[in-house]
Amino acid sequence: MTAFTATVTIRLKRGVLDPEAETTQRSLERLGFDLNDLRSADVFELDLDADSAEDAAERAEEMAERLLANPTIHDYDIEVAQAE
Amino acid sequence: MTIAVIQFGGSNCDRDSVQALESLGFDGELVWHEDGLPEDVDGIVLPGGFSYGDYLRAGAMAAHSPIMAEVREAASDGTPVLGICNGAQIGCESSLTPGAFTTNESARFQCEHVHLRVENAETPWTSQYEQGEVVELPIAHGEGRYEISDDRLDELEAEDRILFKYCDENGEVTPEANPNGSKHSVAGVTGEDDHIAVMMPHPERATLSDLGRTDGQGVLKGFAE
Protein backbone atom coordinates (compact mmCIF):
# COMPACT_ATOMS: atom_id res chain seq x y z
CA MET A 1 0.00 0.00 0.00
CA THR A 2 1.15 3.51 -0.78
CA ALA A 3 0.03 6.79 0.73
CA PHE A 4 -1.74 9.06 -1.76
CA THR A 5 -3.48 12.39 -1.60
CA ALA A 6 -6.53 12.65 -3.83
CA THR A 7 -7.62 16.22 -4.50
CA VAL A 8 -11.30 16.49 -5.40
CA THR A 9 -12.36 19.82 -6.90
CA ILE A 10 -16.10 20.43 -7.12
CA ARG A 11 -17.61 23.15 -9.27
CA LEU A 12 -21.12 24.15 -10.20
CA LYS A 13 -22.01 22.96 -13.68
CA ARG A 14 -21.71 25.61 -16.36
CA GLY A 15 -24.94 27.55 -16.54
CA VAL A 16 -25.92 26.97 -12.90
CA LEU A 17 -26.22 30.32 -11.17
CA ASP A 18 -23.63 30.96 -8.43
CA PRO A 19 -24.96 33.86 -6.32
CA GLU A 20 -22.04 33.72 -3.89
CA ALA A 21 -19.50 33.99 -6.71
CA GLU A 22 -21.45 36.91 -8.23
CA THR A 23 -21.51 38.69 -4.88
CA THR A 24 -17.78 38.09 -4.44
CA GLN A 25 -17.06 39.41 -7.94
CA ARG A 26 -19.09 42.55 -7.26
CA SER A 27 -17.14 43.10 -4.05
CA LEU A 28 -13.84 42.79 -5.89
CA GLU A 29 -15.05 45.26 -8.51
CA ARG A 30 -16.09 47.64 -5.74
CA LEU A 31 -12.49 47.46 -4.51
CA GLY A 32 -11.38 48.64 -7.93
CA PHE A 33 -10.28 45.31 -9.43
CA ASP A 34 -11.11 44.61 -13.04
CA LEU A 35 -12.17 41.06 -13.92
CA ASN A 36 -14.39 39.36 -16.49
CA ASP A 37 -15.78 36.50 -14.44
CA LEU A 38 -15.28 34.65 -11.18
CA ARG A 39 -16.10 31.04 -10.39
CA SER A 40 -15.90 29.43 -6.98
CA ALA A 41 -15.04 25.80 -6.25
CA ASP A 42 -14.76 23.52 -3.25
CA VAL A 43 -11.55 21.54 -2.85
CA PHE A 44 -11.24 18.42 -0.69
CA GLU A 45 -7.88 16.76 -0.05
CA LEU A 46 -8.23 13.10 0.87
CA ASP A 47 -5.27 11.25 2.35
CA LEU A 48 -5.61 7.52 1.78
CA ASP A 49 -3.61 4.34 1.36
CA ALA A 50 -4.14 2.44 -1.88
CA ASP A 51 -2.45 -0.17 -4.07
CA SER A 52 -2.14 2.26 -6.95
CA ALA A 53 -2.98 5.78 -8.02
CA GLU A 54 -5.87 4.32 -10.05
CA ASP A 55 -7.30 2.68 -6.94
CA ALA A 56 -7.01 5.92 -5.00
CA ALA A 57 -8.74 7.83 -7.81
CA GLU A 58 -11.52 5.27 -7.99
CA ARG A 59 -12.23 5.54 -4.29
CA ALA A 60 -12.14 9.33 -4.38
CA GLU A 61 -14.59 9.25 -7.28
CA GLU A 62 -16.99 7.10 -5.31
CA MET A 63 -16.78 9.56 -2.41
CA ALA A 64 -17.48 12.45 -4.76
CA GLU A 65 -20.48 10.67 -6.30
CA ARG A 66 -21.95 9.56 -3.00
CA LEU A 67 -21.47 12.66 -0.86
CA LEU A 68 -18.95 15.36 -1.74
CA ALA A 69 -20.69 16.47 -4.94
CA ASN A 70 -24.32 16.67 -5.90
CA PRO A 71 -24.36 15.37 -9.49
CA THR A 72 -27.53 17.37 -10.20
CA ILE A 73 -25.66 20.66 -9.99
CA HIS A 74 -21.94 19.81 -9.78
CA ASP A 75 -19.08 18.65 -11.95
CA TYR A 76 -15.89 17.51 -10.30
CA ASP A 77 -12.36 16.45 -11.13
CA ILE A 78 -9.88 14.36 -9.22
CA GLU A 79 -6.11 14.53 -9.11
CA VAL A 80 -4.06 11.92 -7.31
CA ALA A 81 -0.49 12.38 -6.13
CA GLN A 82 1.76 10.24 -4.00
CA ALA A 83 1.78 11.71 -0.51
CA GLU A 84 5.00 13.43 0.49
CA MET B 1 -52.85 7.80 12.41
CA THR B 2 -49.26 8.17 13.59
CA ILE B 3 -46.98 10.50 11.67
CA ALA B 4 -43.26 10.28 12.53
CA VAL B 5 -41.41 13.60 12.54
CA ILE B 6 -37.71 12.85 12.19
CA GLN B 7 -35.36 14.94 14.34
CA PHE B 8 -31.82 15.40 13.10
CA GLY B 9 -29.18 17.37 14.96
CA GLY B 10 -30.15 20.92 13.98
CA SER B 11 -33.78 20.31 13.07
CA ASN B 12 -35.86 23.18 14.44
CA CYS B 13 -39.34 22.82 12.93
CA ASP B 14 -39.87 19.36 14.40
CA ARG B 15 -42.09 20.39 17.32
CA ASP B 16 -44.00 22.90 15.17
CA SER B 17 -44.76 20.05 12.78
CA VAL B 18 -45.99 17.80 15.60
CA GLN B 19 -48.22 20.55 16.96
CA ALA B 20 -49.66 21.32 13.54
CA LEU B 21 -50.29 17.62 12.84
CA GLU B 22 -51.98 17.12 16.22
CA SER B 23 -54.24 20.12 15.62
CA LEU B 24 -55.51 18.24 12.57
CA GLY B 25 -56.18 15.04 14.51
CA PHE B 26 -53.00 13.08 13.70
CA ASP B 27 -50.71 11.57 16.31
CA GLY B 28 -47.38 13.29 15.78
CA GLU B 29 -44.39 11.34 17.06
CA LEU B 30 -40.95 12.89 17.39
CA VAL B 31 -38.32 10.37 16.29
CA TRP B 32 -34.63 11.03 17.00
CA HIS B 33 -32.74 9.89 13.92
CA GLU B 34 -30.43 7.57 15.86
CA ASP B 35 -33.40 5.67 17.29
CA GLY B 36 -34.52 4.44 13.88
CA LEU B 37 -37.95 4.53 12.32
CA PRO B 38 -40.66 3.00 14.54
CA GLU B 39 -42.76 0.23 13.02
CA ASP B 40 -46.27 0.97 11.87
CA VAL B 41 -45.98 4.67 11.20
CA ASP B 42 -48.59 5.94 8.75
CA GLY B 43 -46.54 8.85 7.47
CA ILE B 44 -43.20 10.62 7.79
CA VAL B 45 -42.30 14.32 7.99
CA LEU B 46 -38.75 15.47 7.32
CA PRO B 47 -38.93 18.82 9.12
CA GLY B 48 -37.20 22.13 8.57
CA GLY B 49 -34.08 23.36 10.28
CA PHE B 50 -30.36 23.28 9.71
CA SER B 51 -29.42 19.63 10.05
CA TYR B 52 -25.70 19.20 10.66
CA GLY B 53 -25.27 22.96 10.38
CA ASP B 54 -25.87 22.79 6.62
CA TYR B 55 -22.25 21.60 6.34
CA LEU B 56 -21.18 20.65 2.81
CA ARG B 57 -24.66 21.43 1.39
CA ALA B 58 -28.02 21.88 3.08
CA GLY B 59 -29.42 18.41 3.71
CA ALA B 60 -26.38 16.50 2.42
CA MET B 61 -25.31 14.99 5.74
CA ALA B 62 -28.80 14.09 6.95
CA ALA B 63 -29.54 12.47 3.59
CA HIS B 64 -26.84 9.89 4.32
CA SER B 65 -27.78 9.18 7.93
CA PRO B 66 -28.90 5.58 8.51
CA ILE B 67 -32.54 6.48 9.22
CA MET B 68 -32.89 7.83 5.68
CA ALA B 69 -32.37 4.32 4.30
CA GLU B 70 -35.37 3.30 6.42
CA VAL B 71 -37.34 6.32 5.21
CA ARG B 72 -36.59 5.43 1.57
CA GLU B 73 -37.66 1.84 2.19
CA ALA B 74 -40.89 2.94 3.88
CA ALA B 75 -41.53 5.38 1.04
CA SER B 76 -41.06 2.67 -1.56
CA ASP B 77 -43.55 0.53 0.38
CA GLY B 78 -46.14 3.31 0.07
CA THR B 79 -45.72 5.30 3.31
CA PRO B 80 -46.40 9.00 2.62
CA VAL B 81 -43.33 11.21 3.09
CA LEU B 82 -43.36 15.03 3.18
CA GLY B 83 -40.12 17.02 3.29
CA ILE B 84 -40.46 20.65 4.36
CA CYS B 85 -37.69 23.24 3.88
CA ASN B 86 -34.54 21.53 5.21
CA GLY B 87 -36.58 18.33 4.85
CA ALA B 88 -37.03 19.20 1.17
CA GLN B 89 -33.28 19.65 0.79
CA ILE B 90 -32.77 16.28 2.51
CA GLY B 91 -35.38 14.69 0.23
CA CYS B 92 -33.59 15.87 -2.90
CA GLU B 93 -30.13 15.02 -1.55
CA SER B 94 -31.32 11.49 -0.79
CA SER B 95 -32.94 11.11 -4.24
CA LEU B 96 -36.46 10.70 -2.85
CA THR B 97 -37.32 13.61 -5.13
CA PRO B 98 -35.60 15.01 -8.23
CA GLY B 99 -33.47 18.14 -8.46
CA ALA B 100 -31.65 20.17 -5.83
CA PHE B 101 -32.32 23.19 -3.64
CA THR B 102 -29.35 25.52 -3.60
CA THR B 103 -28.33 29.08 -2.71
CA ASN B 104 -31.02 31.72 -3.22
CA GLU B 105 -30.46 34.05 -6.15
CA SER B 106 -30.15 36.89 -3.62
CA ALA B 107 -27.40 34.95 -1.76
CA ARG B 108 -29.34 35.88 1.38
CA PHE B 109 -31.49 34.08 3.92
CA GLN B 110 -35.11 35.06 3.23
CA CYS B 111 -37.94 34.93 5.73
CA GLU B 112 -41.24 36.19 4.31
CA HIS B 113 -44.73 35.23 3.21
CA VAL B 114 -45.15 34.16 -0.40
CA HIS B 115 -48.02 33.26 -2.70
CA LEU B 116 -48.12 29.85 -4.31
CA ARG B 117 -50.21 28.57 -7.18
CA VAL B 118 -51.47 24.99 -6.97
CA GLU B 119 -50.11 23.34 -10.13
CA ASN B 120 -51.57 19.88 -9.66
CA ALA B 121 -54.56 19.49 -7.33
CA GLU B 122 -54.66 15.73 -7.78
CA THR B 123 -51.89 14.76 -5.37
CA PRO B 124 -52.56 13.82 -1.73
CA TRP B 125 -50.84 17.07 -0.69
CA THR B 126 -52.90 19.38 -2.86
CA SER B 127 -56.29 17.68 -3.22
CA GLN B 128 -57.71 20.00 -0.55
CA TYR B 129 -57.14 22.90 -2.95
CA GLU B 130 -58.51 23.80 -6.37
CA GLN B 131 -56.29 23.59 -9.44
CA GLY B 132 -54.76 27.06 -9.88
CA GLU B 133 -55.79 28.19 -6.39
CA VAL B 134 -53.49 30.77 -4.78
CA VAL B 135 -52.38 30.05 -1.21
CA GLU B 136 -50.13 32.03 1.12
CA LEU B 137 -47.40 30.33 3.12
CA PRO B 138 -44.21 31.48 4.85
CA ILE B 139 -40.73 30.70 3.57
CA ALA B 140 -37.55 30.83 5.67
CA HIS B 141 -34.49 29.64 3.79
CA GLY B 142 -31.13 30.59 2.36
CA GLU B 143 -30.91 27.64 -0.01
CA GLY B 144 -34.29 27.28 -1.66
CA ARG B 145 -33.53 27.89 -5.33
CA TYR B 146 -34.73 24.86 -7.25
CA GLU B 147 -32.13 23.64 -9.74
CA ILE B 148 -32.39 20.81 -12.23
CA SER B 149 -31.50 20.33 -15.89
CA ASP B 150 -33.88 21.95 -18.38
CA ASP B 151 -34.72 18.58 -19.95
CA ARG B 152 -35.50 16.98 -16.63
CA LEU B 153 -37.67 19.91 -15.57
CA ASP B 154 -39.64 19.68 -18.82
CA GLU B 155 -40.24 16.00 -18.01
CA LEU B 156 -41.43 16.86 -14.50
CA GLU B 157 -43.79 19.49 -15.91
CA ALA B 158 -45.14 16.98 -18.45
CA GLU B 159 -45.62 14.39 -15.71
CA ASP B 160 -47.54 16.91 -13.51
CA ARG B 161 -45.00 16.51 -10.72
CA ILE B 162 -44.85 20.20 -9.78
CA LEU B 163 -46.98 20.81 -6.67
CA PHE B 164 -46.70 24.57 -6.29
CA LYS B 165 -45.12 27.51 -8.11
CA TYR B 166 -44.30 30.88 -6.60
CA CYS B 167 -46.72 33.49 -7.94
CA ASP B 168 -48.13 36.91 -7.20
CA GLU B 169 -51.39 37.39 -5.30
CA ASN B 170 -53.34 37.03 -8.53
CA GLY B 171 -51.75 33.70 -9.36
CA GLU B 172 -49.45 35.05 -12.06
CA VAL B 173 -46.07 33.28 -12.14
CA THR B 174 -43.63 36.14 -12.73
CA PRO B 175 -39.91 36.65 -12.11
CA GLU B 176 -40.78 39.33 -9.53
CA ALA B 177 -42.91 36.86 -7.56
CA ASN B 178 -40.12 34.25 -7.54
CA PRO B 179 -38.42 34.83 -4.16
CA ASN B 180 -35.28 32.77 -4.69
CA GLY B 181 -34.66 32.32 -8.41
CA SER B 182 -36.09 28.79 -8.57
CA LYS B 183 -36.23 27.35 -12.09
CA HIS B 184 -39.77 27.64 -13.46
CA SER B 185 -40.62 29.17 -10.03
CA VAL B 186 -40.90 25.65 -8.59
CA ALA B 187 -41.65 25.60 -4.84
CA GLY B 188 -42.42 21.89 -4.42
CA VAL B 189 -42.25 18.63 -6.38
CA THR B 190 -43.30 15.02 -6.00
CA GLY B 191 -41.14 11.90 -6.15
CA GLU B 192 -41.61 9.01 -8.57
CA ASP B 193 -44.95 8.50 -6.88
CA ASP B 194 -46.99 11.40 -5.55
CA HIS B 195 -47.15 10.05 -1.99
CA ILE B 196 -43.60 11.42 -1.71
CA ALA B 197 -43.26 15.20 -1.90
CA VAL B 198 -40.99 18.05 -0.87
CA MET B 199 -41.56 21.79 -0.65
CA MET B 200 -39.60 24.81 0.60
CA PRO B 201 -42.55 26.81 2.04
CA HIS B 202 -43.77 25.87 5.52
CA PRO B 203 -47.35 24.51 5.69
CA GLU B 204 -46.90 23.70 9.40
CA ARG B 205 -46.36 27.40 10.13
CA ALA B 206 -49.72 28.24 8.56
CA THR B 207 -51.92 25.59 10.17
CA LEU B 208 -52.81 26.79 13.70
CA SER B 209 -55.56 29.43 13.54
CA ASP B 210 -54.03 31.21 16.56
CA LEU B 211 -51.10 32.16 14.32
CA GLY B 212 -53.15 33.69 11.51
CA ARG B 213 -53.78 32.14 8.14
CA THR B 214 -54.30 28.39 7.89
CA ASP B 215 -53.56 27.83 4.20
CA GLY B 216 -51.07 25.11 5.07
CA GLN B 217 -53.62 22.75 6.59
CA GLY B 218 -54.47 21.25 3.23
CA VAL B 219 -50.91 20.02 2.69
CA LEU B 220 -50.70 18.24 6.05
CA LYS B 221 -54.15 16.74 5.58
CA GLY B 222 -52.53 14.86 2.72
CA PHE B 223 -51.41 12.26 5.23
CA ALA B 224 -55.04 11.14 5.55
CA GLU B 225 -55.53 10.74 1.79
Which of B185, B111, B105, B102 lies closest to B141, judged by CA? Answer: B111
Q: Which of B102, B141, B143 to mutate to test the interface with A (most CBs of A within 10 A)?
A: B102
pLDDT at B60: 96
Rounded to two decimals, the ipTM of the complex is 0.88
Chain segment A32-56, per-residue pLDDT in tens = 999 999 999 999 999 999 999 999 9
How do beta strands B110-118 and B100-102 pair?
unpaired
Of residues B88 and A15, more confidently modeled: B88
Confidence of residue A83 (pLDDT cuts 50, 70, 90): confident
Which of B61, B49, B51, B102 lies closest to A21, judged by CA? Answer: B102
Give the contacts of A55 (CB within 8 A, at least 6 positions apart): none
pTM score, whole prediction: 0.95
Query: CA distances (Å), B115 to each of A7, A17, B125, B220, in order?
Result: 44, 24, 17, 18
Residue B99, chain A, CB below 8 Å: the answer is yes
Taking the CA atoms of B193, B198, B204 and B205 in sequence, report the sign of the dihedral they define.
Answer: negative
Contact assessment for residue B84 and residue B19, using Cβ atoms and an 8 Å cutoff:
no
Rounded Cα distance between B108 and B111, Å, is: 10
Confidence of residue B137 (pLDDT cuts 50, 70, 90): very high
pLDDT at B114: 98
Residue A40, chain B, CB below 8 Å: the answer is no
- Can you spell out the DSSP letters for B193-209? STTEEEESS-GGGG--G
Confidence of residue A78 (pLDDT cuts 50, 70, 90): very high
- Judge: A72–B92 Cβ closer than 8 Å, yes or no: yes
pLDDT at A84: 75
Which of A44, A49, A51 lies closest to A79, judged by CA? Answer: A44
Chain segment B182-217, per-residue pLDDT in tens = 999 999 999 999 999 999 999 999 999 998 999 999
Residue A32, chain B, CB below 8 Å: the answer is no
**Which residue in A has a C-alpha nearest to residue B106's C-alpha?**
A19
Distance between B144 CA and the closest CA of chain A, angstroms: 12
Summarize chain A as % helix, strand, coil (round to 5).
35, 35, 30
Which of B12, B42, B24 lies closest to B207, judged by CA? Answer: B24
pLDDT at B46 over 90: yes
Secondary structure E strands in chain B: 2-7, 27-32, 43-46, 81-84, 100-102, 110-118, 134-141, 145-147, 162-167, 186-190, 196-199
Rounded Cα distance between A75 and A63, Å, is: 13
Number of Cβ pairs < 8 A linking chain A and chain B: 37
Query: CA distances (Å), A61 to each of A31, A84, B50, B57, in order?
Result: 38, 21, 27, 18
Q: Which of A16, A23, A63, A66 to mutate to test the interface with B (most CBs of B within 10 A)?
A: A16
